[in-house]
Chain A
Amino acid sequence: MTTKMFGAPIKRREDPRLVTGGGRYLDDLGHTAYEAAFVRSPHAHARIVDIDVTDALETPGLVGIWTHEDLDGPVGENLPLLIPHPALIAPATGFALAKDEVNHVGEAIVLVVAENRYAAEDAVARIRVDYDFLPVVVGLETARTAANLVHDHAPGNISAHLLQEVGDVETAMAGAPHRLSLDLAIERSACMPMEGKGVYARWDTDAEHLTLWSSTQTSTGVRAAVAARLGLPLAKVDCITPDVGGGFGVKIMHPWPEEVLIPWAARLLGHDVKWTEDRREHFISSAHERGQLQEVEVGFDDEGRVLALDVKFWHDNGAYTPYGIIVPIITATQLLGPYKPGAYRVEFWSMFTNTVLVTPYRGAGRPQGCFAMERTMDAIADYLGVDRAEVRSRNFILPEEMPYDHGLMFQDGRPLKYDSGDFPASLAKLKALVGWDDFAPYREQAASEGRRVGLGIGCYVEGTGVGPYEGAHVVIETSGRVNVATGLTTQGQGHQTAFAQIVADELGVPIETVHVTTGDTRRMAYAVGTFASRAAVMSGNAIALAARAAKAKALKIAADALEVSEDDLEIIDGVIGVKGLPEASMPIGTTAVLSNPLRYAFDEAAKAATQFAGTFDPDKPPVADDEEPGLEGKDFYSPTQATFANGMHAAIVETDPVTAEIKILRYCVIHDCGTMINPMIVEGQVHGGVAQGVGGALYERMVYDEFGQLLNASFMDFLIPYASEVPHVEADHLETPSPLNPLGIKGAGEAGCIPVSAVIASAIEDAEGFPITSMPISPGDLWELRQQHDRGELPSLRRTTAESAKEKS
């Protein structure tokens, strides 16, 4: 019997290559290409008065310099608004090279191409740009005052305003026995993949054909965008994604200015051109996320059940809105997590600021929503003096209520309808894992040693696997080699392993014979991309369907050749055999030979197949009317809606009573992403997500000054946690399969990072005894909060006050 691959925690097949330097990333390509660098705006808001390139023209190695006025046709037009929305009332997109005005530090103004990047940067340093300064808008508070505008066409600095309401919040709030309000804030962070963006373009003058490599999360999207901007037929553009050193969302945004300009320059010059983003460019010219201010009002009953939830939030979208308002829509809808408030109203304003633009970053608005909801749950629990886990469970949607329709519209424009999940079971597992009910004595023991510890919790639901579709093409060669192509890209997820596991089981072939290609438009022209925790759900199911089609054809051919019924056949280790008759069999590759009537005996497989050739019917064509030559399967998977994964995290933190240093002692995760293809890969995703979440909770912030200068645009000052800062993650799984797709899969990619800020805030609050309403939090921040608390400016938690009253009496 073939070992079952689906569900097995096998090691990632790509890792030996990737960890021994065998990866081919964007900058590993194009050694003879010219290289590009950019003059980028040093000012956050200014009019460009003059660009003087005279001094730069003498730079040794210089090839060319271009500004906006050199850009012809669509290349010079505004970059596209990828995802319009009726609520996006004042959208704005920039240009590939700034035209007349810059709206954030880092905006590209001049393109320089030279023989190498050193020379290109030398020329950049010699170009002088004169500016007229305009008032700068930085931060949501400033944007809201609207004393100055980022864009004249956006009054109030508002790009979008959206209100959704389910039930009658006003009435429900008025009738609620208890009400609380919270003011919350989350600061900016960013994806920060190890490999920045990069583009390499090769123009074939004879064929008038462009081959483009981009470190992207969507090769099909980049291909279509570049073809349109350069006025090329789609057939004359190929886009290939090499190994990608992480994306986390920033590379789903497209086309980046460089993705348009580099191919444009390559065609103009008739020479390969490459651009590899450096870290400073990535900080100031890519994208950030997370920045929000939130106001929550909640009405609840004596049991802590939420009767009315009224949320207003302001979302910092930076200088432009090319990716629409996906992020705040996700915050608004996914905020609800596993809960079912009696009535819900959410209203947001997406705001322009003179900062780098904001597009989805792993979690994509969910960490902010989860923060709002979970801070609210903790506040209710504290107000009523009820256990925090208990308050949550009283608000859970129950398994028997699935599918559960919230009555809201999700990011994909489809109903927010949960398909699966068992929240009480997840909570029970989490409480057991972290030792929830044993924490009180632990805290007392710690206190007696002069230590301060706290326990925190956070729950989330994540819509994953949004459509519209992914496809797969499975081709079985005469050797038995199985080629699988799917169009979405890979940026480290282990697709070579997980997708091959699916195919190995579906076909009954050894995993070693399965070869997966992703992100190459030459192999799969229709695809969407790798984002929104969708690759396993979308391509995984498409690949299963395509493999099933190929298998059906193989069995049909084998049944004919062996003169048995298809039902009597099975495929084990790549050999098709008759059940119970070991001698009647053929390798699956033989059916590939038989599938093609043009059968030159090039190889042993073809020679061997001749014994099955049989006699042919002279009245029928060699390829039957309903057949195609070759052993292939192709199919697409297109779901009606997203599938909803969920999870619950708990942490124990210790805070230093004097220095306010914060240490995570334990971090526990219960994760439900439905059926798991490879639990080891899922756990790796969870660990990585938690690591990024810890970054967002305790370390990472984008420090802009009032002039829009990013003060910490390097890895020395933007504090991504090292391995030494990431806690050991204790993870356990609950598998509630999705009823929506053939494999029962729900997405896992983003999950780990979603609740971390909420969990850590909950735990620090528990340790300190006063509310934590803003994240991230540093030791210095906590130390300041303690002093505010000591001065009476920050109230104690009710449970802390109650405890100290008890002690005194």
Chain B
Amino acid sequence: MKPAPFVHHAPRTLDEAVAVLAEVGHDGKVLAGGQSLIPMLSMRLAAPAHLVDINGVAGLDSLTVDGGYVRVGATVRHRGVERSEEGYAVLPLLRQALLNVAHPAIRNRGTTVGSIAHADAAGEMPSIAVLTDAVIEVRGPQGSREIAAGEFFTGPLETELAADELVTAVRFGRFAPGTRTGFVESARRSGDYAMAGVGVALTAAEGTVTAARASFVSVTDVPDVLDLTPVLAGASAGDIASRSDDLVTAVREHVAPEGDIHATADYRRMLAAELTRRLVAEVMSR
């Protein structure tokens, strides 16, 4: 469990980082928190010849709230996002989801942006990115561009990102006024990859749902949003239970889980639907 040899690059500026990435191309891999990459290197499941370590790159380590977004830089740790009072005040969903990301020791090193760039459908933050209509800020040899989260994820561990591009930040979108959010998942052990997980955003006016959306963890091959407005519109805390059957059906039809050694596809489908039902009831009851 020792990595194959690699060249470690430690650029100090974004321009340097992008230049190195352009030079090493497909032989390179960006190292941020390393919580997925380093185990893969150690098990020799990946053997990139170059690691471009962006931890020393200036200007990537801040979380800011501006306008309609919470903007998270590429080297901000999960723990930093989780504990940001500023971020929590405008987008509590970030903390609600991050508390489910592995354990504190991993959140202390792992980065939220890195998790999104890694694009594991069992990761919480890609799911949160689509649920919040996040914008992925990317820098490459041709300059900067922005990709909507809904278009960023193209497959399991696959994204729109080119080999010579670097995600510099993610802007998570704030919800409309009157929106309440929640996140829940079920894992075999606390902190494990979830068998199924779900985040919801319910917008209500005068106690009645006007818009509702959900996104999932571990039960879709790419994170995407399920619009629950048709199912939940007009519901109130008092009569939300009457929507349960339709809600469960909607989730069951939306998700497409695969079975593995921890849970079958059928179990995960049931779990995703039940977790959503309970989460919606819980969020409505607040």
Contact = CB atoms under 8 A, between A and B. Distances in A.
Interface of A: 117-118, 121-122, 125, 278-280, 658-659, 661, 699, 703, 711-712, 714, 716-717, 719, 721-722, 724-725, 778-780, 783-784
Contacts of B189: 699, 719, 721-722, 724-725
B250 interface: no
Contacts of B263: 778-780
Contacts of B3: 118
5 contacts: A121-B44, A125-B44, A716-B193, A717-B262, A778-B263
Given A722-B191, A724-B189, A780-B267, 17 more contacts: A121-B1, A121-B4, A278-B1, A280-B1, A658-B270, A659-B270, A716-B39, A716-B192, A717-B262, A719-B188, A719-B192, A719-B262, A725-B190, A779-B267, A780-B195, A780-B264, A783-B267
Interface in B222-274: 261-264, 267, 270-271, 274
B143 interface: no
A784 B263 CA distance: 10
Given A117-B2, A783-B267, A717 B261 contact: yes
Most buried by A among B2, B4, B44, B192: B2
Nearest to A720: B189
Interface string B188-224: 1111110100000000000000000000000000000
Contacts of A118: 2-3, 5
Contacts of B271: 659
Contacts of A716: 39, 192-193
Closest 5 CB pairs of A and B: A278-B1, A724-B190, A780-B267, A780-B263, A118-B2
Contacts of A721: 189
A658 B274 contact: yes
Contact of A778 (B2, B4, B188, B191): B188
A118 B267 CA distance: 42
Interface of B: 1-5, 39, 43-44, 186, 188-193, 195, 261-264, 267, 270-271, 274-275
A41 B70 CA distance: 50
Nearest to B103: A722
Given A659-B186, A780-B267, A712 B261 contact: yes
Contacts of B193: 716
Contacts of A784: 264, 267
Contacts of A725: 189-190
Nearest to A722: B189
Nearest to A278: B1
Nearest to A120: B2
Contacts of A703: 261
Contacts of A278: 1
Contact of A122 (B5, B39, B270, B275): B5
B1 to A, nearest CB: 4
Nearest to A277: B1
A714 B40 CA distance: 12
B65 to A, nearest CB: 32
A783 B269 CA distance: 12
A105 to B, nearest CB: 15
A724 B190 CA distance: 7
A214 B3 CA distance: 26
A279 B261 contact: no
Contacts of A711: 261
B261 to A, nearest CB: 5
Contacts of B186: 659, 661, 779
A117 B186 CA distance: 38
Contacts of A724: 189-191
B31 to A, nearest CB: 18
Contacts of B264: 780, 784
A712 B39 CA distance: 15
A729 B192 CA distance: 24
A639 B2 CA distance: 48
Contacts of A717: 261-262
A30 B3 CA distance: 21
Contacts of B2: 117-118, 121
Contacts of A779: 186, 188, 195, 263, 267
B43 A280 contact: yes
B230 to A, nearest CB: 24
Contacts of B261: 703, 711-712, 717
A117 B42 CA distance: 12
B178 to A, nearest CB: 30
Contacts of B188: 699, 719, 778-779
B1 A783 contact: no
B4 A125 contact: yes
Most buried by B among A659, A714, A722, A778: A659
Most buried by A among B4, B188, B193, B263: B188
A711 B260 CA distance: 10
Contacts of A117: 2
A722 B190 contact: yes
Contacts of B5: 118, 122
A548 B189 CA distance: 50
A115 to B, nearest CB: 13
A188 to B, nearest CB: 13
Contact of A279 (B1, B192, B195): B1
B184 to A, nearest CB: 11
A437 B193 CA distance: 40
A117 B4 CA distance: 11
A503 to B, nearest CB: 40
A461 to B, nearest CB: 32
A387 to B, nearest CB: 34
A122 B4 contact: yes
B212 to A, nearest CB: 21
B4 A783 contact: no
Contacts of A279: 1
A279 B2 CA distance: 11
B43 to A, nearest CB: 7
Contacts of A125: 4, 44
A116 to B, nearest CB: 8
A784 B264 CA distance: 10
A703 B259 CA distance: 14
A717 B187 CA distance: 12
Nearest to B259: A780
Nearest to B261: A703
Nearest to B5: A122
A287 to B, nearest CB: 19
Contacts of A658: 270, 274
Nearest to B187: A719
A717 B260 CA distance: 10
A780 B262 contact: yes
A339 B134 CA distance: 65
B150 to A, nearest CB: 29
A498 B6 CA distance: 49
B1 A778 contact: no
B278 to A, nearest CB: 9
A656 B283 CA distance: 20
Contacts of B274: 658-659
A478 to B, nearest CB: 49
Nearest to B190: A724
A60 to B, nearest CB: 9
Nearest to A711: B261
A129 B2 CA distance: 21
B262 A778 contact: yes
Contacts of B191: 722, 724
